[in-house]
Structure 1
């Protein structure tokens, strides 16, 4: 499966991922101490929803446009962040995780981005030129391991690969285990697509065997039954989520489920703790 950002910008997975990312960072910012925000697969940073790649899939109509049509105030922070790159009008551009993270920066925080794809990193540098972000062009997993622990005591690593490689999940598992040994109290967010429950269940069991405490899994299934061979939703693994985030999560997840449920389906967003 290829989930390169430009083809899927603003889809339902982006709405959930970025809504939760905003809530997570803001919960961590209840403390004044500095944060380092690290994105291992940063992509282009900004996407034209009228562009050929986004138009080819049309997924934004089932994602960001649904979120904008919904009136639930729990989605206000997400909508405001999207509007920030659109001058307050309806979404024609969609911010990638780097732009969402840049909007959340306080003066004491740091943003470090990485993108291996040459064309994408060139675009990323242009998009992030007016921000204090540092941009790298390295192998994502080597970069991830090299960046932890960060210079600040606290931080977040966002891992959002396109799943183009057959060994992507294995590399995530191996790198997460090594990174956790180096930085046990760090917060890590790992995004993944859901195609079928059996494949995902096997990977979840492999991650469970890492025996990482405070290991939260959030899954968003779009349909009431699996749709064979197609994209069924997406999820996040979150290591060391802060208490303020987990306490506020249930109503936010319900608002996202309701806003994004496809016609004729209720959809489902679940949470599960993998740690001891």
Structure 2
């Protein structure tokens, strides 16, 4: 499945991913000690919702634009992050994870980004100009392991690949196992699209066998039943989520489900521990 960021900017998956990413970093920042925020597949950093690639799918109408119509205060932090890169009331630009993470930085925090695609990394460097972010152009999985453990005692690694390669899930599984051995107390987040339920269940079983005690699985299924052959939603595997994050998660998930449910569907969004 090809999930190039620029074609899907601001869709329902971005709303869930970025809402939870903001909540996760905010929860970690309850402590004053420094964080290192690492993005292994950073993309372009900033996306034009009226550009050719985003308009080709039009997915932002079912994602960020729905979130802006919804008035629930639990989405205020997410809306503020999007509004920060826009001038008008309705968003025309969408911040990728690098721009959102940059907004969350405190003086003591570090942001390290990586993007292998030559065209995208040029766009990323332009988008991050004026920030303190370090930008790398390396293989994402080599970079992931090379960055661990980070210089600060605490941190977050975000792994958000396009799933262009048939072995993407296998590489994630292998690298996650190695990363956990190097940094067992670290917080790591892996994003994935949901298309084939049977394949996904097999992957979850493989991850469960890694024996990571605190591995949370958050899944957002858009439709009330599987829609064969199309994108059905997305999820996040989160290693070592902080207690403050998991405590606040249920009401945020319900707001996201309600805001993003397609017409005629209730949708489903769940969080379960895979390590139990």
TM-score by length of 2: 0.99
Matched, 1:251 2:251: yes
Q: Within 2, Cα distance between the matches of 1:180 and 1:164?
A: 24
Structure 1 segment 81-120 matched on structure 2, within 5 A: 81-87=81-87, 89-120=89-120
**SS class of match (2:190):** strand
The match for 1:162 is 162
The match for 2:13 is 13
**1:153-185: CA deviation from partner (whole Å, max 9, x where unpaired):** 000000000000000000000000000000000
The match for 1:204 is 204
**SS class of match (1:130):** coil
CA drift of 1:90 comes to 1.1
The match for 1:145 is 145
**1:122-152: CA deviation from partner (whole Å, max 9, x where unpaired):** 0000100110000000000000000010000
Q: Within 1, Cα distance between the matches of 2:151 and 2:4?
A: 30
CA drift of 1:30 comes to 0.1
Q: Within 1, Cα distance between the matches of 2:36 and 2:25?
A: 10
Where do 5+ consecutive residues of structure 1 fail to align? none
CA drift of 1:119 comes to 0.3
The match for 1:238 is 238
**1:69-103: CA deviation from partner (whole Å, max 9, x where unpaired):** 11111000000000000025211000000000000
The match for 1:225 is 225
Structure 1 segment 35-74 matched on structure 2, within 5 A: 35-74=35-74
Where do 5+ consecutive residues of structure 2 fail to align? none
Q: Within 1, Cα distance between the matches of 2:202 and 2:178?
A: 20
The match for 1:125 is 125
User: Could you say what the CA RMSD is over the residues aligned between the two structures, in angstroms?
Assistant: 0.5
**SS class of match (2:101):** helix
The match for 2:22 is 22
Q: Within 1, Cα distance between the matches of 2:62 and 2:56?
A: 14
**1:10-62: CA deviation from partner (whole Å, max 9, x where unpaired):** 00000000000000000000000000000000000000000000000000000
TM-score by length of 1: 0.99
Aligned length: 276
Q: Within 1, Cα distance between the matches of 2:138 and 2:48?
A: 25
Q: Within 1, Cα distance between the matches of 2:229 and 2:274?
A: 27
Q: Within 2, Cα distance between the matches of 1:239 and 1:24?
A: 11
CA drift of 1:196 comes to 2.0
Matched, 1:135 2:124: no
The match for 1:182 is 182
**SS class of match (1:237):** strand
Q: Within 1, Cα distance between the matches of 2:155 and 2:113?
A: 13
Deviating above 3 A after TM superposition, structure 1's stretches of 4 or more consecutive aligned residues are none
The match for 2:194 is 194
CA drift of 1:253 comes to 0.2
